[in-house]
């Protein structure tokens, strides 16, 4: 283990001391009292970007991509259905098999949630119907840039397909190299996505909400999917022009573990959320005073960081936001 790796440790906080030590309470509250609504400065910035996209369309999206990243290296904004099918056909067999299994599992679950239209006869000649109809066009934001999340695409797209949505447009940023993850594009092709807008943040939400006429993209009726503070702020701003799912806020996880827990599994659960972004807390809570779980979980985090899972952002996130909480009995 290198000296750099050795410095990656989860902070510790003894919740049993919260009453006697105000600093414990302050640190605890900083993690658990977090709202999903972004701060006013982000809201204002997102509002300005959206107004620009609404007024100038594709040119505004390209300029925003150039400022903050997330665009293709060739400047294109849209990957069409034909390219997505080609990407699907290039998926390695093992990867495609795993994705198809995931799709089937999510489809089975989504089918149990699909509501049925009902009709009630109130009196002779009077019937009341509650009708469920799929929307014509849906937009799904899929996080990207520093990492790719094909699973987020699957969890957005499969319920839309089960619901019978007409057109599905995805927005997701390219990586720092100006390329969209090929697996993400392949999954989009597998799920028969109509187009992928290559942009992130508020400009991507603006492109979904207001369309990109120059590229043949019409506005969607509803936008779903997770994202960072800028995505959340933009979704709140366009609500009313289009429907949204909810202001998701930063991803987070809290693992409850005792002495019987497998430290490797605990560490993997913490890391799977920590990789979502620098503001995604990963918290382990244990009432077990023995050091087995907490110490080994922290060490497992360091070991896992040797593997190709974007270690630099994870080190920063784990150092800043993650902690082991020692709960009172």
CB 131 within 8 Å of CB 115: no
Question: How confident is the model at residue 94, as a pLDDT?
Answer: 96
Question: How confident is the model at residue 306, as a pLDDT?
Answer: 39
Contacts of 314 (CB under 8 A, 6+ apart): 271, 274, 275, 305
pLDDT tier for residue 1 given thresholds of 50, 70 and 90: very low
Q: Could you tell me which residue, 96 or 22, shows the higher pLDDT? A: 96
Where residue 182 falls (left for φ over 0; alpha for ψ -120 to 50; beta otherwise) is: alpha
Question: Which residue, chain included where needed, has tokens 């959320």?
Answer: 273
Question: Are both 3-34+250-326 and 40-112+130-244 of the same fold?
Answer: yes
User: For residue 277, which of 139, 176, 149, 150 has the smallest C-alpha distance?
Assistant: 149
Q: Could you tell me which residue, 324 or 143, shows the higher pLDDT? A: 143
Find out if CATH 1.20.1440.130 is the number for domain 3-34+250-326.
Answer: no
pLDDT(329) > 90: no
Cβ neighbourhood burial of 30 (10 Å; 0-12, 13-18, 19+): exposed
Average pLDDT estimate for 198-221: 97
CB 77 within 8 Å of CB 207: yes
Average pLDDT estimate for 9-25: 74
Per-domain residue ranges of the chain: 3-34+250-326, 40-112+130-244
Please give the share of the chain, as a percent, with pLDDT higher than 70. 79
**Domain 40-112+130-244, what fold?**
Rossmann fold (3.40.50)
pLDDT(13) > 90: no
Question: How confident is the model at residue 202, as a pLDDT?
Answer: 97
Question: How confident is the model at residue 126, as a pLDDT?
Answer: 96
CB 201 within 8 Å of CB 221: no
**Which span out of 25-34, 139-148, 168-177 was modeled with the highest average pLDDT?**
168-177
pLDDT(326) > 60: no
């Amino acid at each position: 283990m290198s000296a750099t790796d050795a410095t990656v440790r989860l902070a510790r906080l003894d919740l049993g001391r919260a009453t006697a030590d105000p600093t414990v309470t302050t640190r605890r509250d900083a993690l658990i009292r977090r709202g999903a609504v972004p701060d006013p400065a982000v809201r204002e910035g997102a509002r300005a970007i959206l107004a620009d996209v609404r007024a100038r369309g594709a040119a505004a999206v390209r300029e925003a991509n150039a400022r903050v990243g997330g665009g293709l290296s060739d400047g294109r904004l849209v990957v069409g259905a034909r390219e997505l099918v080609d990407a699907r056909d290039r998926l390695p067999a093992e990867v495609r098999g795993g994705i198809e299994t995931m799709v089937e599992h999510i489809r089975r679950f989504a089918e149990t949630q699909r509501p049925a239209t009902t009709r009630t006869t109130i009196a002779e000649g009077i019937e009341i119907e509650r009708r469920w109809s799929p929307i014509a066009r849906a937009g799904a934001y899929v996080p990207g840039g520093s990492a790719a999340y094909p699973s987020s695409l699957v969890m957005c797209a499969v319920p839309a397909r089960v619901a019978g949505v007409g057109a599905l447009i995805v927005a997701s940023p390219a990586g720092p190299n100006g390329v969209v993850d090929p697996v993400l594009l392949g999954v989009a092709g597998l799920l028969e996505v109509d187009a992928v807008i290559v942009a992130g943040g508020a400009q991507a939400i603006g492109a979904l909400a207001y369309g990109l006429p120059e590229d043949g993209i019409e506005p969607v009726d509803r936008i779903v999917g997770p994202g960072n503070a800028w995505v959340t702020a933009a979704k709140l701003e366009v609500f009313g022009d289009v429907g949204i799912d909810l202001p998701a806020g930063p991803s987070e996880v809290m693992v409850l573990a005792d002495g019987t827990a497998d430290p490797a599994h605990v560490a993997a659960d913490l890391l799977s959320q920590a990789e979502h972004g620098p503001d995604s807390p990963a918290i382990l809570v244990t009432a077990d005073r023995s050091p087995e779980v907490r110490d080994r979980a922290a060490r497992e985090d360091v070991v896992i960081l040797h593997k190709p899972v974007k270690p630099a952002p994870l080190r920063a996130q784990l150092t800043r936001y993650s902690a082991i909480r020692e709960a009172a009995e």
